[in-house]
Amino acid sequence: MFPRAILSQLERWANADDRKPLVLRGARQVGKTVAVELFARRFDGFASLNLDAPGEGEIFRRGLTANDIFQAICLRQRVKATSGRLLLFLDEIQNCPEAVAALRYFRERLPKVHVIAAGSLLEIALHDQHISFPVGRVEHLFMYPLSFREFLVALGADEAVSAVDAVPFPAYAQDAVLGHFHRYALVGGMPEVVSRYAATEDLTVLGDVYNSLLTSYEDDIGKYARNPTAATILRHCIEASPFQAGQRIKFAGFGQSNYRSREVGEALRTLQRAMLIYLLYPSSSVQPPVVPDMKKSPRLQFIDTGLLNYHVGLQDQVLQHNDLHAFYRGLLAEHIVAQELICVDPNTRKKHCFWVRQKSQSAAEVDFLFPHGGSAVPVEVKAGRAGTLRSLHQFIDRSPCRLAVRLYAGPLAVQQAATPTGTAFALLNLPYFLASKLHEYLDWMTNR
């Protein structure tokens, strides 16, 4: 049970004057329950119901008032309702629509009680069972696998944490932190895997944990497949997704199958609701609002790079290279950067787009568009200390933004650059292990 960054967000929520019941959303096994249990240590009393267990949801089905529901839960959990600052946790809330509806009454009738709800298949239930949260009466936070900084904290690498937190990053720590980042890209951010690795520092004992996680995701298919045919397609998409991760995909024939576009699209969108994958769409926008083009091929992001490495068999290659962009066509570096960018803002489920300019004789693609200070900042993931920036230059020529970012294996540096047509811009060269701190470094570069 190591600390997670979400705890600071939970603390801000708990101390807010206009606090509402909070819904913690995320895929299975990303650590939602453990995070709430850690957070509960800051309270005088803690009552928890797992609505996946038989009979636990009956309290909400009796037509009781909010106060009576609360009293019944406290009696069941042997918690004093008057024990001071109290936290109520409703886990796997998707199994009890009546509990979802009751959240509004906790907000109205028991505003002093801190209420958190969570569910592993919550997104699926909301869509398939037409369950909806009381509009305007709940808040949401999204939880993901461990970020690189959380990985360092879990391993007790305090000096590396201090270096990552320092802005600007100290040059003396480059090699050490880059080594940690390569290990993070190899192990991944699933809490159970990181916990096992932190205890043993032995990569060979992690296979059972990876297998268990992947099996549990496949076992869940029966909970959200509407029929046996849909289950078969979903299972194929789960198995094929790690091999397609980091690439632009086509729905028709996905994963070398004979499935049609409509069937695969439905399956992948279901997996996205389960937060096992993300579909990152392109945009031709060069300034906000960045509008994703849902008609174009998306890029597929798997839940965790460590699981991807294990499933695809890339672990040996990660250990052999000093630059993540130097193998697997650079896809692994882009994938782990995307994983970092996804967890930057737990307050929204909106994901970053990438930029495309497609013409018959001149196609261009920029890896990410990062919103900052009213601009859409182009971000490229590149190999080594050089690498061409042709697509980024094309974006700059068409955009009012005069900042750009290259994420790579080299040191922190800012340089004045120009496109081949003469458009001047400032280029932030940032080690890719600092991707999650892009906002801070863009502020730092601007203030210089």
CB 99 within 8 A of CB 117: yes
Q: Mention every residue, 6+ apart, whose C-beta is less than 8 A from residue 25.
A: 118, 119, 122, 123, 140, 141, 142, 143, 275, 349
How much of the chain exceeds pLDDT 70, in percent?
95
Q: State the pTM of this model.
A: 0.93
Q: What angle do CA 161, 165, 168 make, to 5 degrees?
A: 130
Average pLDDT, the chain: 91
Dist CA 26 CA 276 (whole Å): 9
Which two structure tokens, joined as six digits, stand for 403? 């900042």
Dist CA 91 CA 25 (whole Å): 11
pLDDT per residue as tens digits for the range 77-128: 888 877 688 999 999 998 898 999 899 888 888 888 999 999 877 778 777 7
Identify the structural domains of the chain with CATH numbers, from first to last.
6-142 (3.40.50.300), 208-447 (no CATH)
Q: Residue 137 has what DSSP assignment?
A: S
Lowest mean pLDDT among 44-48, 237-241, 362-366: 362-366
Burial 385-402 (b: 16+ CB within 10 A, else e): eeeebebbbbbbeebebe
pLDDT of 322 higher than 70 = no
pLDDT per residue as tens digits for the range 207-236: 999 999 999 999 999 888 889 999 999 999
> What is the secondary structure of 38-107 as a DSSP string?
HHGGGSSEEEEEETTSTTTTGGGGS---HHHHHHHHHHHHT--TTSSSEEEEEETGGG-HHHHHHHHHHH
Dist CA 306 CA 324 (whole Å): 13
Place of tokens 């695809």: 312
